[in-house]
Chains A and B, each alone.
Chain A
Amino acid sequence: SQQGEEDPQALSIQEGENATMNCSYKTSINNLQWYRQNSGRGLVHLILIRSNEREKHSGRLRVTLDTSKKSSSLLITASRAADTASYFCATEGYQKVTFGTGTKLQVIP
């Protein structure tokens, strides 16, 4: 079964709004990563948060991790049309990275 499950499956917002995606997982992890996939392309790594970290920022991205609840969230602030893509969380345990099913984000200009 999939380790990471994203929520919601799809999200549609207006340009300039914030987008929040959530990821839940089942077992203990070393780190959690977020990736982005544009239509028809490969995945691109966005940000990695280690299991001993609670929050991390990178530009307009903010990631939180709550290991007690086994959940993470990705916040994209001031969204742009170019942020339209699918976003995946990936959890890394012992020698293995497991990807979730993704959130499809549409940002309407």
Chain B
Amino acid sequence: DVKVTQSSRYLVKRTGEKVFLECVQDMDHENMFWYRQDPGLGLRLIYFSYDVKMKEKGDIPEGYSVSREKKERFSLILESASTNQTSMYLCASSFAGVSAPNQPQHFGDGTRLSIL
């Protein structure tokens, strides 16, 4: 089974801090994603990556950056945390082979981040 591991289940940080959320997958997936989930808004895509050192902006990239130095690891960075970034953050990965389209995403259990 695919395993996507997020480094923390719960995290509390202060306004203005630089925050790192880490995600590791063990299935050699090309694609990795970061979402935030807020009540009534569903999942919104922050950034995604389809290869090492590649990144694409999602729907709400402002205030965030990402890093993908190794295929299995995708980091989300809050450059200067603000209270409106308090949310549940979900990481996902998927296979991207052209010979096997329509692949599902596999999710980690999420990091509930509170910015005080």
Contact = CB atoms under 8 A, between A and B. Distances in A.
B105 interface: yes
Nearest to A33: B104
Contact of B107 (A2, A42, A92): A42
A2 B42 contact: yes
B108 A42 contact: yes
A71 to B, nearest CB: 17
A41 B105 contact: no
Interface of B: 4, 35, 40-43, 45, 90, 92, 101-102, 104-110
B42 A99 contact: yes
Nearest to B94: A97
Contacts of A45: 104-106
B23 to A, nearest CB: 11
A58 B91 CA distance: 26
Nearest to A2: B42
A36 B12 CA distance: 27
A48 B45 CA distance: 20
Nearest to A46: B104
B7 to A, nearest CB: 14
Contacts of B108: 42
A100 B101 CA distance: 21
Nearest to A101: B42
B51 to A, nearest CB: 13
A33 B104 CA distance: 8
B102 A48 contact: yes
Of B4, B43, B102, most A-chain CB atoms within 10 Å = B43
A90 B44 CA distance: 11
Interface string A81-109: 00000001010100011111110000000
A12 interface: no
A47 to B, nearest CB: 9
B19 to A, nearest CB: 20
